[in-house]
Amino acid sequence: MRNYSHHLAKLALHFNQLPTEVDPEQINDYLYLVKQQHNTPSDSYFKFTVYAPRFAYRMEGLKDKRIELPSIKRDKRLPVVLSQEEVRRLLKAPKLLKHRALLGLLYGCGLRCFEVRNLKISDLDFDRNMLHIRQGKGKKDRYVPLSAILIRGLKAYIQAEQPYIWLFNGREQEIKRRSGGDFDSRYSQRGVQWAVKQAKKDAGITKEMTVHTLRHSYATHLLEEGLDIMSIKDLLGHQCIDTTMVYLHVAQSGRVRPFSPLDRLYPITK
C-alpha cells in the first residue's frame, strides 16, 4: 500500500493532475523519462508505476474504465488510425453542437481526453487562430492551430450553449453524483468517452476505437500531408521523440506510397 501511495503521489506531482486522469501515453512518457534519468530502474519500480493507477481506479470504483495501461516492455502494437473519410463521417454524426465541437477539437487539435476537458473559454484565441493547451506544473504549455471550420463551429456552440469558464461543462445532476476524481463542473471523462462511442456507432465505423484514436489519426494524417516529425512531436506535446516515431510505421507517406502488387496486376479505375 505504501509503495502504491508513493508512486501515485509522484505521478500526480509530475503531471499536476489527479492520478485517475493520467492516461497511458503520459505514463509511457513518464517511464521513458525515469529510464533516462536513472539509467535502468528496477523492474519493481516500473511495476509499481503501472499498477498503482490500476489500484486507484479500483478504489475509486471505476470498474468500467477499461484503460489499457502500458506494459513494462513497450507495447509494440501499432495504434488504430481512422481514414480521412471515416473522420468526416464521425464529425458529422453528433446531433448536439457540443459534441460536434468536442470531436472537432479532439481530432482537429490532437488533444488528449483530459486536455479537452481542461479547456477554458479563455484558451481560445480566435484572432490568431490558435488554441492554448495548458499543462500545468512540470509540463510545458503549447499552442496548436485552429482551423477556420472548427472556429466557426466553436463560435456557434458558444453562442448557443453559453458555457461558463470551462469550454465544456457537465450537467448539474451529473456533477452531483460524480465520483472518481471529477469534482468540478467540467465535462466528465465518461461524458467525453460516451460522445465518441455514440458518434462511432452513428457513423457506422467498425474499427475498435477510443477517444485517443482521434489523436492518433490527427498525427498520422499530418505526417501523410508532409509535416515533419519534430513539428508533430511539438504539436502533440510529447516529451520524447520515440513516442512520436510510432506514426512513421502507420502513415502512408514517402516518395512512393506502399501498395499491393495485386494493384499492378489488376488495376481498378475509380
Active site residue: 63, 73, 77, 137, which one?
Answer: 137
Active site residue: 99, 215, 221, 233, which one?
Answer: 215
Tell the residue number behind the cell numbers 507517406, with chain if given.
253
Distance CA 155, CA 210 (A): 26
Active site residue 247: yes
Active site residue: 107, 157, 187, 247, which one?
Answer: 247
Active site residue 176: no
**Nearest residue to 237 (alpha-carbon basis) of 114, 153, 122:** 114
Name the β-bridge partners of 145.
Answer: 130
Distance CA 110, CA 214 (A): 7
Active site residue 200: no
Q: What are phi and psi of 215, to 5 degrees?
A: -65, -45
Active site residue: 212, 216, 221, 233, which one?
Answer: 212
For 82, counting Cβ atoms within 10 Å of its Cβ (0-12 exposed, 13-18 middle, 19+ buried), the class is buried
Active site residue 66: no
Rg (CA), the chain: 20
**What b-and-e string marks burial along 83-95, b requiring 16 or more CB atoms within 10 Å of the CB?**
eeebbebbbebbe
Supply 204's cell numbers: 457506422
- Answer whether 104's CB lies under 8 Å from 153's CB: yes
Q: Are β-strands 130-133 and 142-145 bridged in parallel, bridged antiparallel, or unpaired?
A: antiparallel
Active site residue: 7, 117, 186, 238, which one?
Answer: 238
Active site residue 100: no
Active site residue: 7, 99, 100, 112, which one?
Answer: 112
**3-class secondary structure, 168:** coil
Active site residue 215: yes
Residues with a catalytic annotation lie at 112, 137, 212, 215, 238, 247
